[in-house]
């Protein structure tokens, strides 16, 4: 499981409560270790590691560690990514950064993870895309394009590996209620109005709600769900 913020921590806790042994990977080893410590009483076993998903060697090392520690990988939640400020998103350097982290990083993770799963003849991969991977955004071209790429990669991998025992799906949340989001909305009433208007339910998603969707897709309870980009958006993409 690749952490990355509040959703990653919520997912780690939820998977641990279900009895999973975990590889927790983050760009910050300290963040991974802090999450591992916080949920240590809930999981059978937790291993923390540092990973840079833009570096294929770093991603391969993460999966090699999983192979050494557990000798298998049943499921993977690829959650790491970046969401740059809207006022820089039209700059080409920012666009390239979004594509490198969100699209390339997801591709690197799926490729490495699939090696263990293909060897076992089974597995489930869930990528964190976005509601902006389903609909466009005038504010964030790099983020939207990169998350559309994650959805496309998800569907393509799902087809490629379907008969080999691997399912690949994506969760597509709208704005999520995190401390960072709350601080941003407190500084900008216009941003609060914009984010709240995106959901017919009139509120943001919680990290736990996104984590629940990811865990379901990873589990055998979703055994015939493959290639789906599942909105977790309060109805935003339905309109």
- The HSE-up count of residue 91 (CA atoms within 13 Å, CB side) is 8
Query: CA angle 204-102-24, nearest 5°?
Result: 80
21, 55, 104, 207 from 101: Cα distances, Å: 26, 10, 6, 21
The rounded distance, in Å, linking the Cα atoms of 156 and 108 is 14
| Cβ(39)–Cβ(16) below 8 Å | yes
**All residues at 6 or more sequence positions from 13 whose CB lies less than 8 Å from its CB, including other chains:** 38, 39, 42, 211
Catalytic residue among 15, 77, 108, 143: 143
| Cβ(73)–Cβ(117) below 8 Å | yes
143 catalytic? Reply is: yes
Residue among 142, 149, 151, 147 nearest 132 (CA): 147
Residues acting as catalytic residues? 143
């Amino acid at each position: 499981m690749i952490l990355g913020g509040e959703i990653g921590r919520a997912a780690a806790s939820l998977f641990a409560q279900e009895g999973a042994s975990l590889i927790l990977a983050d760009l910050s080893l300290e963040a991974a270790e802090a999450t591992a410590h916080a949920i240590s009483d809930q999981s059978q076993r937790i291993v923390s590691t540092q990973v840079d998903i833009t570096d294929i060697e770093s991603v391969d090392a993460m999966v090699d560690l999983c192979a050494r520690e557990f000798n298998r990988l049943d499921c993977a939640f690829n959650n790491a990514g970046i969401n740059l400020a809207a006022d820089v998103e039209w700059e080409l350097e920012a666009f390239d950064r979004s594509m490198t982290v969100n699209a390339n990083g997801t591709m690197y993770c799926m490729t490495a993870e699939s090696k263990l799963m293909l060897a076992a003849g089974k597995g489930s991969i869930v990528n964190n895309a976005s509601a902006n991977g389903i609909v466009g955004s005038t504010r964030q071209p790099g983020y939207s394009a990169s998350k559309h790429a994650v959805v496309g990669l998800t569907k393509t991998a799902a087809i490629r590996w379907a008969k080999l025992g691997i399912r690949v799906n994506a969760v597509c949340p709208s704005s999520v209620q995190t401390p960072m989001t709350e601080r941003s909305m407190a500084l900008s009433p216009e941003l609060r109005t914009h984010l709240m208007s995106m959901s017919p339910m009139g509120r943001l998603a919680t990290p736990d709600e996104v984590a629940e969707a990811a865990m379901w897709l990873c589990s055998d309870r979703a055994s015939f769900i493959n290639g789906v980009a599942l909105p977790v958006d309060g109805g935003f993409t339905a309109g």
